[in-house]
């Protein structure tokens, strides 16, 4: 199905907000990432506020709880799935719960989209249907207790699965996998080969709008990043700017994403500040808009219905 492009192009920023839940199933969770979750969350809220950029926040449902028994016996997860809550992280409530950070997100001046990142960060490509249903139901239940609901879903580790369950559970859109290469390869493809970074949102066979990712902003780290930064200021900034410029030029969609816990060092904060300030400037200078995943879904749904059409409704092509 061909999507109707937004006149003037648009940029989406999505975040996987998870604190400890992004790592609880790993044998050795990376300590810097685990410890950066809270700081990164607050830093991103501040930066997005400063540049008035709304983002889609996929929040792990468990973070909306004040407390739990560390067992969740009524949840059909495999044995041991919540074990870290009862062992190493028993006294690390700040990794397991995030009511303060969720409240800060909901109270932000910018109109962020509250989206789901499942209840306990299960991998939808591996779980059975019963658990997929339970993860959505539990997330919906807790959100309702907060007076919130969600239309969009971000799959843990981008493991797409059980899309029929999402549709049944009232989800309208999800972030699909990027069609492009990742990490140092995307830097090479974009900076050296001048490859496209735009994506085409489509309605899938379940009626869900798939808003694919263009670029993971922290896929190029460690020693390679340090070396590259001695040549170019920050290669990922260069790629992100190229994506923003391409969205302007081609009236297309550029979708960047990250985890708040990717902001482990000040240089990461600088990367985000540089990208967001550039996005803000290009938005002011051109017809570019910033959208959430939910905004894109509504635009695509109405375009397909034929009820609302963008002024310049040439189908996107060639990427
Ligand atoms: Zn728990
Ligand atoms: Zn995640």
Separation of 44 CA from ligand 1 center, angstroms?
25
pTM (2 d.p.): 0.91
Mean per-residue pLDDT for 32-60?
A: 98
Separation of 243 CA from ligand 2 center, angstroms?
23
Which ligand is in closest contact with the Cα of 62? 1
Separation of 92 CA from ligand 1 center, angstroms?
12
Which ligand is in closest contact with the Cα of 81? 1
Enumerate residues with CB within 5 Å of ligand 2 (an ion): 16, 18, 22, 156
Give pLDDT, residue 310: 40
Give pLDDT, residue 4: 52
Give pLDDT, residue 132: 98
Give pLDDT, residue 307: 41
Give pLDDT, residue 174: 98
Tokens of 113: 């989209």
Separation of 63 CA from ligand 1 center, angstroms?
9
Q: Is the pLDDT of residue 224 over 60?
A: yes
Pairing mode of beta strands 289-291, 152-153: unpaired
How many helical (H) and strand (E) elements, i.e. helices and strands, does the chain have?
A: 11, 10
Which ligand is in closest contact with the Cα of 33? 2
Query: What is the pLDDT confidence band of residue 225, given thresholds at 50, 70 and 90?
Result: confident
Cα–Cα distance for residue pair 72/188, rounded to 1 Å: 45
Which ligand is in closest contact with the Cα of 18? 2
**Residue 253 or 7, more confident:** 253
Which ligand is in closest contact with the Cα of 70? 1
Separation of 286 CA from ligand 2 center, angstroms?
33
Mean per-residue pLDDT for 292-313?
A: 71
Separation of 163 CA from ligand 1 center, angstroms?
25
Query: What is the pLDDT confidence band of residue 187, given thresholds at 50, 70 and 90?
Result: confident
Separation of 18 CA from ligand 2 center, angstroms?
6
Give pLDDT, residue 6: 53
Separation of 136 CA from ligand 2 center, angstroms?
15
Separation of 65 CA from ligand 1 center, angstroms?
8
Give pLDDT, residue 229: 76
Coil vs helix vs strand at 250: helix
Separation of 82 CA from ligand 1 center, angstroms?
7
**Residue 120 or 226, more confident:** 120
Q: What is the number of other CB atoms lying within 10 angstroms of the CB of residue 12?
A: 28
Separation of 210 CA from ligand 1 center, angstroms?
30
Which ligand is in closest contact with the Cα of 22? 2
Mean per-residue pLDDT for 15-38?
A: 96
Contact 94, 51 (CB under 8 A): no
Cα–Cα distance for residue pair 44/295, rounded to 1 Å: 20
Which ligand is in closest contact with the Cα of 20? 2
Tokens of 129: 């249907």
Separation of 191 CA from ligand 2 center, angstroms?
28
DSSP state of 190: I
List all residues 6 or more positions away from 160 whose beta carbon is below 8 Å from its beta carbon. Answer: 124, 125, 174, 176, 177
Q: Is the pLDDT of residue 70 over 90?
A: yes
Separation in Å, CA 8 to CA 255, 312, 314, 317: 15, 9, 12, 16
Which candidate, 158, 165, 155, places its Cα nearest to that of 132? 165
Average pLDDT, the chain: 91
Contact 36, 44 (CB under 8 A): no
Which ligand is in closest contact with the Cα of 258? 2
Separation of 272 CA from ligand 1 center, angstroms?
31
Query: What is the pLDDT confidence band of residue 313, given thresholds at 50, 70 and 90?
Result: very low
Q: What percent of the chain has pLDDT over 70?
A: 92
Alpha carbon 200 to its chain centroid, in Å, reads 16
Separation in Å, CA 27 to CA 81, 83, 89, 263: 12, 12, 13, 22
Query: What is the pLDDT confidence band of residue 223, given thresholds at 50, 70 and 90?
Result: confident
**Residue 154 or 5, more confident:** 154
Which ligand is in closest contact with the Cα of 118? 2
């Amino acid at each position: 199905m061909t999507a109707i492009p937004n006149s003037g192009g648009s940029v989406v920023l999505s975040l996987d907000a998870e604190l400890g839940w992004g790592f609880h199933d790993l044998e050795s969770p990376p300590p810097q990432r685990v410890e950066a979750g809270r700081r990164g969350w607050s830093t991103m809220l501040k930066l997005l506020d400063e540049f008035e950029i709304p983002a889609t926040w996929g929040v792990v449902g468990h973070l909306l709880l004040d407390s739990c028994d560390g067992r969740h016996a009524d949840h059909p997860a495999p044995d041991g799935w919540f074990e870290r809550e009862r062992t190493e992280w028993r006294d690390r409530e700040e990794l397991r719960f995030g009511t303060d950070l969720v409240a800060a997100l909901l109270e932000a001046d910018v109109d962020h989209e509250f989206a789901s990142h499942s209840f306990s960060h299960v991998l939808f490509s591996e779980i059975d249907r019963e658990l997929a249903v339970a993860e959505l139901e539990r997330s919906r239940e807790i959100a309702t207790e907060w007076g919130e609901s969600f239309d969009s879903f971000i799959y843990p580790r981008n493991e797409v699965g059980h899309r029929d369950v999402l549709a049944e559970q009232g989800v309208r859109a999800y972030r699909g996998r990027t069609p492009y290469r990742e990490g140092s390869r995307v830097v090479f493809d974009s900076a050296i080969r001048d490859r496209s970074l735009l994506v085409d949102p489509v309605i899938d066979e379940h009626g869900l709008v798939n808003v694919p990712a263009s670029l993971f902003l922290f896929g190029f780290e460690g020693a390679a990043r340090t070396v590259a930064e001695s040549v170019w200021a920050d290669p990922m900034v260069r790629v992100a700017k190229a994506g923003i410029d391409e969205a302007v030029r081609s009236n297309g969609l550029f979708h960047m994403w990250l985890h708040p816990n990717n902001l482990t060092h000040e240089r990461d904060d600088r990367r985000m500040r540089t990208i967001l300030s550039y996005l803000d400037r290009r938005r002011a200078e051109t017809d570019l808009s910033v959208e959430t995943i939910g905004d894109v879904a509504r635009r695509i749904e109405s375009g397909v219905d034929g009820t609302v059409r963008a002024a310049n409704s040439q189908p996107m092509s060639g990427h």
